[in-house]
Structure 1
Amino acid sequence: MNWYGIRAIYKFEMARTWRTLMQSIASPVLSTSLYFIVFGAAIGSRMGEIEGISYGAFIIPGLIMLSLLSESISNASFGIFFPKFSGTIYEVLSAPVSAFEVVAGYVGAAATKSLLLGLLILLTARFFVDYQILHPFWMLGFLVLTAVTFSMFGFIIGIWADDFQKLQVIPLMVVTPLTFLGGAFYSINMLPEFWQKVTLFNPVVYLISGFRWSFYGIADVNIGVSLAMIFLFLLLCLTGIWWIFRTGYRLKS
């Protein structure tokens, strides 16, 4: 295992975060804070409780997951796309590092940024809404698994994209709508029975449901099913990355 190679890629990507601190960290935290102010403090105070939880507290897991998914994908996709765009990807491919070590460096840095952002949002929420975390171990587990999985997904998008516009297509046109429709701001049990069944085809439902369970012990779907879906998506991402390095898809052209 070439730990020096992994550390070099990791440190390079993390250094870019500190150079763009306002864009990478401050901006997402401020944007999410507006959700807490509007939906948590203003609108939430005038709404009833959902399964015994105040509305402001109920939406915290969904808002954190919304930021975590988008930032994980964005950080990882840009991290690998820019070397392709500038041509420095050939230096990485010719270096004495394996595919696993390259992925570990880029995905590890992207996941670290997303985890840092998620924890900062969690701390920021305390200023606006009172909440509790019944299962802190599982909460951190869901954060780590989600950050790593969607950083891998972002890595695949960064390889697939051949221009800057394509980097934003899937996060904006697919992931964000699925998050809003995945129970970030409501329980799917509030929907008509037909739409409850339709919503179960949305993979983000399982992420938000499991994450919310770690806070309050309530979930729209079984916690075991949520974990199984996360590991399934993780396996799919690992398979996709393996195929990319096995075939050289858009890496050597």
Structure 2
Amino acid sequence: MNFHAVAAIYRFEMARTGRTLLQSIVSPVISTSLYFIVFGAAIGSRITEIDGVSYGAFIVPGLIMLSLLTQSLSNASFGIYFPRFTGTIYELLSAPVSYLEIVVSYVGAAATKSLIVGAIILATAGFFVPLRIEHPVFMLLFLILTAITFSLFGFIIGIWADSFEKLQLVPLLIITPLTFLGGSFYSIHMLPPFWQKVTLLNPVVYLVSGFRWSFYGQADVNVGVSLFMTFLFLAICLAIVGWIFKTGYRLKS
């Protein structure tokens, strides 16, 4: 492992966060604060508690997960797409840096940035609602696994996309709707039985449910199933990234 190369790419990607501080950090925190104000005031006044947890506190894990998913995707996809767009990716591919080191550096930087945003949002949530974290180790585990998994997914999108429009297509049209329909703002047990079964086809349900369990010890889906689905998605993303570098898909042309 060429740690000097990994560190160099990692530092370069992290430095971009400082140059785009408003977009990378401030914007998602303000957006999440608005969710707290709007949902907490408008809906929280009508739904006082869900499973013994105040509605304002109930939506905190979902909001953190929403930001984590979108930030991981956008950071990783743009991080690898921009070198392809400018042509500097060929310099990287010709350098004495392995494919593993490229993935580790780009995905590591994207995951780090999304974890920073998640931590800031968690701290911000404490100003709006009383929080408790019953299983902090599992909370960190879900945060790290989700950040890495969706950073890998974003890396795949960045390789696949051949325009800035395609770069935004999957996050806007697929990931964001799935997150809103994945129990971020409600318990799936509140749905009719048929729609509960349909909702279980949404992979985001397992992420949100497991993450919420780490806070309040309550989940829509068994936490073991949530962990299994998270590892499964991680394995699928790793397999796709491996295939991309093995075949040179959209990298050598």
Q: TM-score range by the shorter chain?
A: over 0.9
Aligned to 2:133: 133
Asked if 1:247 is matched to 2:247, the reply is: yes
State the shift of 1:37 in Å: 1.1
State the shift of 1:23 in Å: 0.5
* Rounded Cα–Cα distance in structure 2 between residues aligned with 1:156 and 1:150: 9
Asked if 1:88 is matched to 2:110, the reply is: no
CA contact (8 A) 1:41 1:128 kept: no
CA contact (8 A) 1:182 1:202 kept: yes
* Rounded Cα–Cα distance in structure 1 between residues aligned with 2:15 and 2:72: 16
Query: TM-score when scaled to structure 1?
Result: 0.99
Percent of matched pairs sharing the same residue: 74
* Rounded Cα–Cα distance in structure 2 between residues aligned with 1:46 and 1:133: 25
Aligned to 1:27: 27
Aligned to 1:17: 17
* Rounded Cα–Cα distance in structure 2 between residues aligned with 1:214 and 1:92: 40
Q: Matches of residues 21-60 of structure 1 in structure 2 within 5 Å?
A: 21-60=21-60
2:53 partner SS: coil
Aligned to 1:163: 163
Q: CA RMSD in A?
A: 0.7
Which structure 2 residue ranges, 5 or more long, are not aligned? none
* Rounded Cα–Cα distance in structure 1 between residues aligned with 2:12 and 2:45: 44
Supply the AA of the counterpart residue of 2:236.
Answer: L
Aligned to 1:74: 74
CA displacement, residues 179-218 of structure 1 (integer Å, 9 cap, x when unaligned): 0000000000000000000000000000000000000000
Aligned to 1:179: 179
Which structure 1 residue ranges, 5 or more long, are not aligned? none
Supply the AA of the counterpart residue of 1:143.
Answer: L
* Rounded Cα–Cα distance in structure 2 between residues aligned with 1:92 and 1:219: 44
State the shift of 1:48 in Å: 2.2
* Rounded Cα–Cα distance in structure 1 between residues aligned with 2:45 and 2:99: 50
Aligned to 1:5: 5
Asked if 1:211 is matched to 2:244, the reply is: no
1:4 partner SS: helix
Aligned to 2:114: 114
CA contact (8 A) 1:40 1:129 kept: no
CA contact (8 A) 1:206 1:226 kept: yes
* Rounded Cα–Cα distance in structure 2 between residues aligned with 1:121 and 1:48: 22
* Rounded Cα–Cα distance in structure 2 between residues aligned with 1:78 and 1:164: 9
| Stretch moving more, 103-112 or 35-44 | 35-44
Aligned to 1:98: 98
* Rounded Cα–Cα distance in structure 1 between residues aligned with 2:99 and 2:39: 44
Aligned length: 253
State the shift of 1:39 in Å: 1.1
Query: TM-score when scaled to structure 2?
Result: 0.99
Supply the AA of the counterpart residue of 2:144.
Answer: V
Aligned to 1:154: 154
Supply the AA of the counterpart residue of 1:232.
Answer: L
2:17 partner SS: helix
State the shift of 1:43 in Å: 3.1
* Rounded Cα–Cα distance in structure 2 between residues aligned with 1:41 and 1:149: 33
Displacement over 6 Å in runs of 4+: none
Aligned to 1:231: 231
* Rounded Cα–Cα distance in structure 1 between residues aligned with 2:47 and 2:145: 32
State the shift of 1:41 in Å: 4.1
* Rounded Cα–Cα distance in structure 1 between residues aligned with 2:231 and 2:201: 16
